[in-house]
Amino acid sequence: MIAVNRLAVALLAALALPSAVQAATPHDFSIYAIRMGGDSSQAKPYIDRFSRHLESTLGWPTNSVSGGFYVSRKEALTAIEQTKPGWAVVEPSLYLELRKSHKPVVVAQVVSSDLNTPQLMVVVKDPALKSLADLSGKRLWTQLADAGKYLSHVVLDGKGAAETRFQLKQIGAVTKGIRAVLRGEADATLVDPEQLAEAKKMEGGGDLRVIYPSQALPGLLVVAFPQGLVAAEQKKLTTALVGMCATPQGGPVCKEMRIQQFEATNASLLSTTEKRYDQP
């Protein structure tokens, strides 16, 4: 009898596992976007409306699409590996990391002044720091500390692993890094041009200086996982997304998600980025 009860408890525990570890359908997706922060619960209503719109546009069954939103690389990677969604909207750093293991196919890119980071700059306050060489061994706070290869080869100059060149600290919000530099808790942080302009307005922000600007960076990428979403469905998804934001039904959904539009991939920029990432 005890053995039966133990079996029942085990079954109930298995049934109670969170949905995040349940297998996804080919139409399910994940979104990994770090620039604006947020969390899954805040994003859920927007993700749900996005899902319902895609069902309507693509003729997929009602409530057959489910999405997850993540600002943590670890959580996004776990969700993709465990649930195996058919497609995703991801930061270029994660796309590059997944290329060998998941063979993602880039089917579109996101146009968004709020979600994309077209360039990153290393910003300091200490006037003695004038270059990345001067920053060696010092404290660098960034949202990309957990994406070392992307940070080292794509964002920075590729002259060594950022993990060993600097004292990296992962942050969730850019403002945390800016305030840390202004208070002297960090020696440098990474911001994009718009974030720097806002930082300059903060108390002491006038002392912030750029010591290194990155090359152009890709924005969020829409990728399909071939083992989940077949080629014909990938093409349908791409067509639906590219036209979505210009329609009366899709426009409001795009707007509330801070997306101006989906467009064809900038193949030249992506290829250049891939080459920098793959350098020894």
Q: How confident is the model over 57-111, as pLDDT tens digits?
A: 999 999 999 999 999 999 999 999 999 999 999 999 999 999 999 999 999 999 9
Distance CA 146, CA 171 (A): 9
Q: Indicate whether 48 pLDDT > 70.
A: yes
Among residues 66, 72, 39, 41, which one has the least CA distance to residue 54? 66
Looking at the chain, the whole-number percentage of residues with pLDDT higher than 70 is 91
Helix crossing, 40-58 with 231-244: angle to 10°? 110
List pLDDT tens digits, range 106-147.
Answer: 999 999 999 999 999 999 999 999 999 999 999 999 999 999
Q: Indicate whether 1 pLDDT > 80.
A: no
* pLDDT band at residue 23 using 50, 70 and 90 as cut-offs: low
* pLDDT band at residue 37 using 50, 70 and 90 as cut-offs: confident
Q: Is the distance from CB of 191 to CB of 214 less than 8 angstroms?
A: no
- Helix, strand, coil: what percent of the chain each, to 5? 45, 15, 40
Q: Indicate whether 196 pLDDT > 50.
A: yes
Work out the average pLDDT over 203-225.
98
Residue 106 CA, distance from chain mean position: 14
Angle at CA of residue 115, ends 112 and 119, nearest 5°: 90
Distance CA 58, CA 172 (A): 35
Distance CA 75, CA 20 (A): 10
